Amino acid sequence: MRIRCPFCGERSHAEFSYLGDAAPTRPNIGTRATVPDTTLFVDYVYMRDNRPGVMREYWQHVGGCRSWLIVERNVTTHAISNVASAREQVLAATEGEHP
Ligand SMILES: [Zn+2]
């Protein structure tokens, strides 16, 4: 499998490290002043869907520029349909939230 890093170009997947599914969002489990509902966090960490088809996944280019990427990959065929910088996607999604 080959992954096209937006900064380094197409490289072997051996240069990348897989983190996991990019879809789940970290739950807000409260502050130290309150008793947190840890079941939400346990579900976030351990309970993942394992469906065939296209998934958005976090990968890091550890053998290159070390950037975190979001790779859209069909987990059945390993066909990659899109690769984007995770940092740029987060900045675009949170634009205007910080002064
Ligand atoms: Zn790279």
Task: Report the separation in Å between the CA atom of 67 and the middle of ligand 1, taken as the mean of its atom positions.
Answer: 6
CA of 18 to the centre of ligand 1 (A): 14
What are 97's two structure tokens?
């939230």
- Where helices occur in the chain by DSSP H, the ranges are 38-46, 86-93
Write out the chain's pLDDT in tens, 99 residues: 999 999 999 999 999 999 989 988 888 776 666 766 788 888 888 888 888 999 999 999 999 999 999 999 999 999 999 999 999 988 888 887 755
Distance 5 CA to ligand 1 centre (A): 5
Write the CA distances from 7 to 12, 81, 83, 84, integer angstroms: 14, 17, 11, 10
Structural domains present in the chain: 2-25+46-93 (3.30.2270.10)
3-state percent helix, strand, coil for the chain, nearest multiple of 5: 20, 35, 45
Q: What is the pLDDT of residue 99?
A: 57
CA 64 – CA 38 distance, rounded (Å): 37
